[in-house]
Amino acid sequence: MAGGAACHYLSIMSEIVIEVEHLYKSYADTMAVQDLSFRVTAQQCHAFLGPNGAGKTTAMKVLYGKAKPDDHPETRINVLGYDPRLQELKIKTLSGVVPQEDNLDLELNVQQNLQIFSKFYNLSRAHAQRQIDYLLEFMELTEKRKSQVRELSGGMKRRLIIARSLLNNPSLLIMDEPTTGLDPQVRQLIWDKLRELMRGGVTILLSTHYMEEAYQIADVLTIMDKGRKIMEGAPRELLESQVEGHVLEVTDLEYSDQFESAMDGSPFRKEQSSQRAIYYAADGSALEQAAGHIPRESFIMRKSNLEDLFLRATGRHLNEGQ
């Protein structure tokens, strides 16, 4: 019996909730998404990470039927067993969407926003009310139940949109930059709630340009740039396999030559911007030793992070041209 339970567990764990192959989407002259393929496994959080314009929103919109992909013979899209090109409504019934913009009804209060939305799902009045009470509690908005939406802070609006996306008990949540512009406390709260939802069986696809967000909650990361996938994997594994563990940033470029000669042949990789030189090395002690030869205030030493991975993957700084 125990083996059977384990098998069942394994089959749930490996169930594919989203499968996309060779997705293309163009707008006039812009190729917003180019040959994108990826899979999302049940109960995992899969994050699209990339700068503005990378194609994250467009890819998500295709999945829930808001954007039509290009006609391409190789394109295959399967979301919860349905093709959004043909069965958009089925997908809408089974999933929840948190769009990038705050598209709440400003004329209504918090509770009314949820009530109106519950009508789209044909929930009975009593069922809707129970669900609304539960979701207001879950997103810590119960005290704001009667507040007008326009009086809410940015973080409260986001939490209300997340509550709204959960009205139909979705098994898949598609979230476009759910925490952009929020302060760290609200962001942490939302991450906790997302983790709780995943423990309860929900699968999450989200987009973000916060490295920290991807690192904190994503099981799998797809790094996108200019419409293409450029890397994919578990955040920690990607980091370990693609980027040296130790980083020293020389913030006063006057000292970069001195630092390099103090490295004395020890291997390093260098990224340079107009403001600083960034040195990557597997051996942190070599960086530390060489740093002893330049003034303390001319460098910062740290562990590598996803931003370094992104730099390596795209060969450019995140904020270039944004």
Name residues contacting ligand ADP, limited to 13-42 (CB under 6 A): 27, 30, 32
In angstroms, rounded to a whole number, what is the distance separating the alpha carbons of residues 217 and 212?
9
Instruction: Kindly indicate which of the ranges 48-56, 79-87, 159-167, 239-247 contains the residues binding ligand ADP, using the contact rule CB under 6 A.
Output: 48-56
Instruction: Kindly indicate which of the ranges 46-54, 154-162, 182-190, 290-298 contains the residues binding ligand ADP, using the contact rule CB under 6 A.
Output: 46-54
User: E strands of 122-196, at which residues?
Assistant: 172-176
For position 52 contacting ligand ADP by CB under 6 A, the verdict is: yes
User: Residue 50 or residue 136: which is nearer to ligand ADP going by CB?
Assistant: 50
Q: How far is the CB of 52 from ligand ADP (least distance, A)?
A: 4
Q: Are 59 and 23 in contact (CB under 8 A)?
A: yes
Q: How far is the CB of 102 from ligand ADP (least distance, A)?
A: 16
Strand, coil or helix: what is 157?
Answer: helix
Q: What count of other Cβ atoms lies within 10 Å of the Cβ of residue 129?
A: 15
Site size for ligand ADP (CB under 6 A): 11
User: Residue 274 or residue 322: which is nearer to ligand ADP going by CB?
Assistant: 322
Find the length of the chain. Answer: 322
For position 53 contacting ligand ADP by CB under 6 A, the verdict is: yes
For position 50 contacting ligand ADP by CB under 6 A, the verdict is: yes
Q: How far is the CB of 31 from ligand ADP (least distance, A)?
A: 8
Q: How far is CA 308 from the centre of its chain?
A: 17
User: Residue 206 or residue 290: which is nearer to ligand ADP going by CB?
Assistant: 206
User: Residue 22 or residue 276: which is nearer to ligand ADP going by CB?
Assistant: 22
Two structure tokens written together for 113: 């926003």
For position 158 contacting ligand ADP by CB under 6 A, the verdict is: no
In angstroms, rounded to a whole number, what is the distance separating the alpha carbons of residues 33 and 190?
28
Q: How far is the CB of 19 from ligand ADP (least distance, A)?
A: 20
For position 55 contacting ligand ADP by CB under 6 A, the verdict is: yes
- Quick one: 282 exposed, middle or buried, by C-beta within 10 A (0-12, 13-18, 19+)? middle
- Cross-sheet strand order for the sheet of 246-250: 269-272, 277-281, 246-250, 299-303
- Of 64, 84, 39, 12, the closest CA to residue 229 belongs to 39
By CB under 6 A, name the binding residues for ligand ADP: 27, 30, 32, 50, 52-58
